[in-house]
Chains A and B, each alone.
Chain A
């Protein structure tokens, strides 16, 4: 390799185990995260072929998608299919000797929160999981892909993934964010600019002062939604904040190994003059608190805006917008802040970390949710939950009238009992507002944790800056 390289180029080069003449590579995988929904057939495949897991010490499993977030789940899960999938993961983890965090373990949580929390995710690694939001781990400067079940089996058996290299895209957020604006607003605003297919074929590197200024939690929120922009992965170069976050985590290197790791991690940045195939630049000062109004994450507007009309669009989007407005029960021209909501969901791998709960609690402190509104906080992991209890955040949520749940994916995808009813409108800190995503007929508005808390108080979508 000669010439200046991007961060992606460097991580890629350091993980090619084999390259065929047509450019197809076997990319070595440093960490494989596994959950209950996309893995059963993969383990079954290994059994049928009599294959072991090649690197069980690099494989980590945790049930999250299907698990109830109410008490008693460690002894019984009502839904039989969910129970079977969770039990299958219990057994597979045991039989194949992989690291496991069962529902009874305080460290259990959403796989993308548990990985970084436990120090499994480190800079410069390749990380995969049978889940599209694996992009989250890119916040550490690790190349993180979502994969399908056949590929899960492939990685279990070979510790590699068959891949061709993607193109490089740079998303730069210059300057500083204004008060009330968060990583969630950055990532949604970027998708608003690129569209949900804008990242297709690319690995995105997020950079610029506003990204540097974000905490690790905020950076994870940004990378989490790279996939919603169609990208294969999102990356942020590691820096002192990254190293400080990683240091002392249970599976982070210690002593001399830490020093060696640190020296390597410090080489993980895009060289001056490296080539990007596509560049997008936003000014941090121009980003407002945003919400989605439609059924695609690209349907995003500043909270001060109004519901658009299909005629504001062209091509195939005209029909899609009409369909979205019908589904969402909205009228063109309606002020976004006039949209009344029924439910608030704070959680998910996008915004279920401690900083997110702090941001929401700061808004809710001493206040109550609107009467009749359903409000729920689902911490991203048992440890986030424990910390929030210790910091007194849980009490703030409870006093404000929120349900304080156990960790899991919950209403992000409504595979467990937490679902919207038809027509129910939800302000959600998660990442997908697709039709039916949170329950058949449910209507989702994506926003930041602080904005979700504000909406819980007023009962309608609200500009957080009015409450600052």
Chain B
């Protein structure tokens, strides 16, 4: 998993509330064999017509936002199913941070497993950042995980809370696998003991 420490990037404003996982990645794309490659179908039904043409109004289709790395979203982002395809699709598109007043629980946890930082802020702060994001590509928002702050393009800073353990994992790029690999010495020594005890394995 990629580390997350600091990020300054274009933020796409998506004020819609209750953006669910079906919107993020519709079910017909779950048959994939990969975790990658889902970015082109991120928000598929909002983003393309049935014929597959881009819908120009959709935020990520607008020239200023095509390279967004942050989404500033309405309440309750990521509600719906537990599909990890949702964070996979966001990440594949290039989104590393989503800011909202609230997230669905499973989606929130899935983000951390995939190197995405979900930031919960009070409504007033999200409103400021939403307005900032609406200014276009020049309005870059900065996210600093170590200091737990989000800063708007004009320098307004907001502190946010995050679980210390999750922060540690994300800052060090550790998922379950990463954590287990921290114990690689124990695995190594188990392996060499087992080699003597049960060499036929």
How many whole Å from B107's CB to the nearest CB in chain A? 16
Within A117-169, which residues are at the interface with B (CB < 8 Å)? Answer: 122, 124-125, 150, 153-154, 157-160, 162
A342 at the binding interface (Cβ < 8 Å): no
CB distance A81 to B177 under 8 Å? no
Chain B residue nearest in CB terms to A18 = B186
Contact of A253 among B186, B191, B200 (CB under 8 A): B200
B33 within 8 A of A: yes
Cβ–Cβ contact B199 & A48, under 8 A: no
B34 in the interface, Cβ–Cβ < 8 Å?
A: yes
Chain B, residue nearest A262 (CB): B200
**Chain A, Cβ-Cβ closest to B189:** A17
Q: Does A280 contact B (CB under 8 A)?
A: no
Q: A18-B183, A26-B186, A158-B187 are in contact. Are A51 and B177 (CB under 8 A)?
A: yes
Quick one: which of B1, B34, B35, B176 contacts A162, CB cutoff 8 A?
B176
Residues of A within 8 Å of B183, CB to CB, are 17-18, 26
Q: Nearest chain-A residue to B31 (Cβ)?
A: A81
A244-276: contact bitstring with B at CB < 8 Å (1 yes, 0 no)?
A: 000000000100011011001000000000000
Task: Please classify the interface of chain A as helix (H, G, I), strand (E, B), loop, or mixed, using the class held by over half of its residues.
Answer: helix
A154 lies within 8 A of B201 (CB):
no
Decide yes or no whether A88 CB sits under 8 A from chain B. yes
Nearest CB in chain B to that of A31: its residue: B201
Quick one: which of A30, A48, A58, A160 contacts B35, CB cutoff 8 A? A48
A141 to B84, CA, bound (A): 35
Chain A nearest Cβ from B74, distance in angstroms: 29
**Residue A402 at the B interface, CB < 8 A?**
no
Contact B181 A257 (CB under 8 A): no
In the assembly, what is the distance between CA of A88 and CA of B194, in Å? Answer: 33
**B115 vs chain A, min Cβ distance (A):** 10
Q: Within B153-201, which residues are at the interface with A (CB < 8 Å)?
A: 176-177, 180-181, 183-184, 186-187, 190-191, 194, 197-201
Q: Are the CB atoms of A85 and B186 closer together than 8 Å? A: no
Pairwise interchain contact B200-A260, C-beta atoms closer than 8 A:
yes
The reply on A467 being an interface residue by CB < 8 A is no
- Asked if B36 is at the interface of the complex by the 8 Å CB criterion, the answer is yes
**Residues of B contacting A197 with CB < 8 Å?**
none
Given A154-B176, A154-B177, A160-B180, verify A258-B194 contact (CB < 8 Å): no
Asked if A28 lies at the interface with its beta carbon under 8 angstroms from chain B, I say yes
| Distance of A17 Cα from B191 Cα, bound (Å) | 8
CB pair B36–A257 under 8 Å, yes or no, is no
Q: Assess the B198–A160 pair: CB atoms within 8 A.
A: no
- Which residue of chain A lies nearest to B184 when distances are taken between CB atoms in the complex? A158
Does A421 count as interface, using CB distance less than 8 angstroms? no
Binds B, one of A37-45, A299-307, A374-382: A37-45
Q: Which of A54-100 contact B (CB under 8 A)?
A: 54, 58, 81, 84-85, 88
Q: How far apart are B54's CB and chain A's nearest CB, in angstroms?
A: 25
Q: How far is the CA of A160 from the CA of B34 in the complex (A)?
A: 23
Per the bound structure, the CA–CA distance linking A453 and B194 in Å amounts to 46
A125 CA to B34 CA, complexed, in Å: 31
Known: A49-B177, A154-B180, A158-B181. A124 touches B33 (CB 8 A): no
- Complex: how many Å from CA A26 to CA B185? 12
Asked if B33 and A41 sit within 8 Å, CB to CB, the answer is yes
**Residues of the A chain whose Cβ atoms lie less than 8 Å from the Cβ of B35:** 41, 44-45, 48
For A28, what are the chain B residues with a Cβ–Cβ distance below 8 Å?
Answer: 187, 190-191, 194
Is A158 a contact of B33 with CB atoms below 8 Å?
no
Instruction: List B contacts of A150 (CB < 8 A).
Output: 84, 113, 176
Among B31, B187, B201, the residue within 8 A (CB) of A26 is B187
B36 and A44 contact, CB distance less than 8 A: yes
Given the interface contacts A26-B186, A150-B176, A158-B177, does A122 sit within 8 Å of B201 by beta carbon? yes
- B34→A44 contact, CB < 8 A: yes
Contact status B33-A40, CB under 8 Å = yes
Which residues of A lie under 8 Å from residue B1 when comparing CB positions?
A: 49
The answer to whether residues A18 and B187 also contact, given A30-B201, A157-B181 and a CB cut-off of 8 A, is yes
On whether the beta carbons of A257 and B200 are closer than 8 Å, the reply is yes
A81 nearest CB neighbor, chain B only: B31
Which residues from A are CB-within-8-Å of B198?
14, 124, 261, 264
CB distance from B186 to the nearest CB of A (A): 4
Shortest distance from the beta carbon of B120 to any chain A beta carbon, whole Å = 24
CB of B175 to closest CB in A, whole Å: 8
- Report how far A41 CA is from B32 CA in the complex, Å: 9
- Residues from chain B with Cβ under 8 Å of A122 in the complex: 200-201
Contacts of A261 in B (CB 8 A): 198, 200
How far is it, in angstroms, between the C-alpha of A17 and the C-alpha of B190 when the chains are bound? Answer: 5
Provide the bound-state CA to CA distance between A41 and B83, in Å.
13
Which A residues from 355 to 388 make CB contacts under 8 A with B?
A: none
- How distant is the Cα of A14 from the Cα of B200 in the complex, in angstroms? 15
CB-CB < 8 A to A257: which residues of B?
A: 199-200
A159 touches B177 (CB 8 A): no
Write out the residue numbers on chain A whose beta carbons fall within 8 Å of the beta carbon of B180.
26, 154, 157-158, 160, 162
19 extra interchain contacts, Cβ-Cβ under 8 A, other than A160-B180, A260-B199?
A: A17-B187, A18-B190, A26-B186, A28-B187, A28-B190, A30-B201, A41-B35, A48-B35, A48-B36, A49-B1, A51-B177, A122-B200, A157-B181, A158-B180, A158-B184, A158-B187, A160-B187, A257-B200, A261-B198
Q: Would you give 29 A-B contacts (Cβ < 8 Å), ordered by A?
A: A14-B197, A17-B183, A17-B186, A17-B187, A17-B190, A17-B191, A18-B183, A18-B190, A26-B180, A26-B186, A41-B33, A44-B34, A49-B177, A51-B177, A85-B33, A88-B33, A125-B201, A150-B84, A150-B113, A150-B176, A154-B176, A157-B181, A158-B180, A158-B181, A158-B184, A253-B200, A257-B200, A260-B199, A261-B198
B-side residues, CB < 8 A to A, are 1, 31-36, 84, 113, 176-177, 180-181, 183-184, 186-187, 190-191, 194, 197-201
Footprint of B on A, CB under 8 Å?
14, 16-18, 26, 28, 30, 40-41, 44-45, 48-49, 51, 54, 58, 81, 84-85, 88, 122, 124-125, 150, 153-154, 157-160, 162, 253, 257-258, 260-261, 264
